[in-house]
């Protein structure tokens, strides 16, 4: 079968990454520009345009059949992007319409970034064998996407899959969203950093102190993940606890949706098999009996490329 090609744009808070992707999930060329998110929507759109033009030039005879964009924020069916966190003065922008005006001969589709990553795993990664799964992205915050019958389930307004705001304690700590006890308030950046700093006060040596040079305000999730990956027992302890809590929220969603598989992406999932194991043990303990035996929690396979691949997957 002849390969088809599409352009995938991974719009992030700090960088725009754009690539030329073939229908077998290979990235043939990619570039990376600064998002300039602090300068407002027109500046961001300029960066997207420049990155796409550059890919078109490098594509040569591999003519792309369209442009897909994974964007933070809520994305509606018309490709309007609403309130992406960390992009200044961006209330609602008709991004699909704008891109269609700039690139007249291209098909344009836009999807929320977590949904795009879920699509990438479904088409090209750990989810290829599974028509139905819950995708969870665990990094600074917690996001997700639901794949049903090999397609993303968006919900009526595109907001489906927000697993970060499943509450695991109605009396729990306040969350940025206004609710209480959301799982993100337990396993997101703020909580993980605080919890780690607390444990470090009373405890033994830890590799993390070397990594942050003694400054506990720099205990970002990636530092904890890296230390755990290098075998640090305190970092492993923190992430095992957090994985157990995340598993509570995942089990709730799996029970509601009758799902058996969850795929975990994002920076923390790379800390080691023990994190995935902690999540899986917690999920198994909590799902309904008939679901229990074939529950699977798997690490995502595409890492940082998931954004570009999923975006391209929208038009491939």
**Which residues in this chain contact Zn ion in the complex, by CB under 5 A?**
165, 175, 177, 179, 182
d(CA 103, CA 63): 14
HSE-CB of 36 using CA atoms within 13 angstroms: 14
Residue with smaller CB distance to Zn ion, 183 or 211: 183
Axis crossing angle, helix 41-59 with helix 95-102, rounded to the nearest 10: 50
Residue with smaller CB distance to Zn ion, 125 or 164: 164
In angstroms, what is the minimal distance from the CB of 21 to Zn ion?
Answer: 33
Residue with smaller CB distance to Zn ion, 249 or 259: 249
Residue with smaller CB distance to Zn ion, 15 or 179: 179
In angstroms, what is the minimal distance from the CB of 253 to Zn ion?
Answer: 14
Strands 151-153 and 261-265, by their bridges, are: unpaired
Which DSSP symbol is given to 167? B
For residue 136, with 0-12 CB atoms within 10 Å meaning exposed, 13-18 middle and 19 or more buried, which class applies?
buried
In angstroms, what is the minimal distance from the CB of 179 to Zn ion?
Answer: 5
Residue with smaller CB distance to Zn ion, 141 or 313: 141
Residue with smaller CB distance to Zn ion, 187 or 228: 187
Contact between 309 and 27 under an 8 Å Cβ cutoff? The reply is: yes
In angstroms, what is the minimal distance from the CB of 175 to Zn ion?
Answer: 3
Residue with smaller CB distance to Zn ion, 175 or 278: 175
Query: Would you tell me how many other CB atoms lie within 10 Å of the CB of residue 273?
Result: 9
In angstroms, what is the minimal distance from the CB of 185 to Zn ion?
Answer: 6
Report which of 245, 279, 242, 240 is spatially closest to residue 262, judged by C-alpha positions.
Answer: 279
| Residue 258 region by backbone torsions, left for phi larger than 0, else alpha for psi between -120 and 50, else beta | left
CA 274 to each of CA 63, 125, 238, 240, 281: distance values in angstroms, whole numbers, following the listed order: 43, 21, 11, 7, 10
In angstroms, what is the minimal distance from the CB of 82 to Zn ion?
Answer: 17
In angstroms, what is the minimal distance from the CB of 286 to Zn ion?
Answer: 20
């Amino acid at each position: 079968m002849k390969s088809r090609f599409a352009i995938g744009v991974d719009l992030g808070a700090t960088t725009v990454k754009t690539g030329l992707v073939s229908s077998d999930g290979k990235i043939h060329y990619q570039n990376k520009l600064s998002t300039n998110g602090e300068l407002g929507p027109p500046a961001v759109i300029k960066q997207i345009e420049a990155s796409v033009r550059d890919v078109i030039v490098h594509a040569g005879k591999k003519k792309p059949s369209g442009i897909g964009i994974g964007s933070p924020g809520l994305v509606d069916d018309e490709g309007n992007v609403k309130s992406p966190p960390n992009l200044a003065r961006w209330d609602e922008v008709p991004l699909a319409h704008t891109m269609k005006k700039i690139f007249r001969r291209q098909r344009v589709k836009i999807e929320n970034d977590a949904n795009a990553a879920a699509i990438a795993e479904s088409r090209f990664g750990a989810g290829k064998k599974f028509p139905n799964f819950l995708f969870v992205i665990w990094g600074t915050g917690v996001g997700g996407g639901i794949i049903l019958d090999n397609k993303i389930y968006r919900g009526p307004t595109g907001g489906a899959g927000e697993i970060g705001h499943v509450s695991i304690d109605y009396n729990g700590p306040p969350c940025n969203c206004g609710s209480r006890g959301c799982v993100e308030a337990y396993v997101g950046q703020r909580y993980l950093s605080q919890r780690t700093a607390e444990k470090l006060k009373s405890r033994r040596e830890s590799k993390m102190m070397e990594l942050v040079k003694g400054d506990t305000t720099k205990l970002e999730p990636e530092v904890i993940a890296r230390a755990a990956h290098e075998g640090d027992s305190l970092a492993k302890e923190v992430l095992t606890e957090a994985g157990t809590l995340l598993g509570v929220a995942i089990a709730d969603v799996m029970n509601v949706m009758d799902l058996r598989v969850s795929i975990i992406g994002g920076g923390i999932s790379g800390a080691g098999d023990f994190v995935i194991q902690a999540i899986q043990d917690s999920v198994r303990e909590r799902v309904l009996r008939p679901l229990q035996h074939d529950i699977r929690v798997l690490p995502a396979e595409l890492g940082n490329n998931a954004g570009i691949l999923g975006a391209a997957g929208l038009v491939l």
